Amino acid sequence: MQKRIKRLAAVLLLLLLLSSCASLDVVRTAGLRAFDAVLEVLPPQTENEVYVSLTAPDGAAVFYFGPDGLAMSVDLAPFYAAGLREEIFVDHYFSLPADRMQNTTAQADPLRQFETCLDAYPKQFGYHMQMDHFNIDFGGKAMFEWAKDMKINGYDNSVQDKDIVFVLNPEPFIAAGVDPEQVQGWAYAQVSVEINGKPAQVWKLLKPFDLQ
C-alpha cells in the first residue's frame, strides 16, 4: 500500500512539473510575440557592435539585449535636477551576469537574440498580471516591461496606454537626496504586486510610453 501511495505521489508530482513547464512555455511564447510587436514600432539599434538596444522615445532610458546579456540604463540628469547629491553614487546602469551567455551564439535577428537572452535568464523573466505586462527584472533594482497587447489591458479590459515601461526602485535615489515627485519624465506611483502570494502596493519610479 505504501509503495502504491509513493508511486501515485511521484506520478502526481511529475504531472504537476509537466503542467508548470507547459505554462511557462506558453508565457514565454506570448512574451516573445509581444516583444516582436514592440520591435515593429520601436526599431532596435546596435550598440558598439555588441548590444542590440531599445531607446526610450525621449532618449532618457535604454534597454539592452545582446551576446553579453541583458542591461538597462537611465539618464541621471533629471535626478540631479530633483536633488540627487553629486557626492553619492547611485547605480544607473543595471545588468545581469554575463557569464550565463558564454555558451550561447550571437543572433543577427533581434528577436532571436532576445529569445537567446530569455533562455539564459529564465528566472529574470516574469509577468505582471495587473498591468498585463511581461518584464525583465534586474534584481529588484530596476525592471523593463512590455505590454502583452498594445491595445487592450487583458486584466481589466481597459485601454493599454503603457506599451513599454522603464521601472526603478526609488529607495536608493530617495536616500541620495532625490525628491521622487520632482523627477522630470518619471512618475512616482504605487504599483500593485504580489509579495509572498499576497497583494500589496509598492512605490516605484515609472517611465511609461504609449507607442501607438
Residues 24-44 have pLDDT tens digits of: 566 789 999 999 999 999 999
> Residue 73: its pLDDT value, please?
97
Q: How far is Cα 192 from Cα 199, in angstroms, rounded to an integer?
A: 7
- At 76 the pLDDT is 97
- The predicted pLDDT at position 37 comes to 96
What's residue 179's pLDDT? Answer: 98
6 pLDDT higher than 60 = no
pTM metric for this prediction: 0.85
Digit-coded pLDDT (tens) for 128-180: 888 999 999 999 999 999 999 999 998 899 999 999 999 999 999 999 999 99
Q: What HEC string does the chain produce?
A: CHHHHHHHHHHHHHHHHHHHHHHHHHHHHHHHHHHHHHHHHCCCEEECCCEEEEECCCCCEEEEEECCEEEEEECCHHHHHCCCCCCCCCCCEEECCHHHHCCCCCCCCHHHHHHHHHHHCHHHEEEECCCCEEEEEECCCEEEEEECCCCEECCCCEECCCCEEEEECCHHHHHCCCCHHHCCCCEEEEEEEEECCEEEEEEEEEEEECCC
87-132 pLDDT per residue, tens: 999 999 999 988 888 878 888 889 999 999 999 999 999 998 889 9
Mean pLDDT confidence for 194-208: 86
pLDDT of 68 strictly over 50: yes
169-197 CB burial, b ≥16 within 10 A, e <16:
bbeebbebbbebeebebbebeeeeeeeee
Instruction: Please report where in the chains the cell 553629486 appears, as a residue.
Output: 86
Q: How confident is the model over 79-93, as pLDDT tens digits?
A: 999 999 999 999 999
pLDDT of residue 137: 96
Q: Which residue has the higher pLDDT, 148 or 51?
A: 148
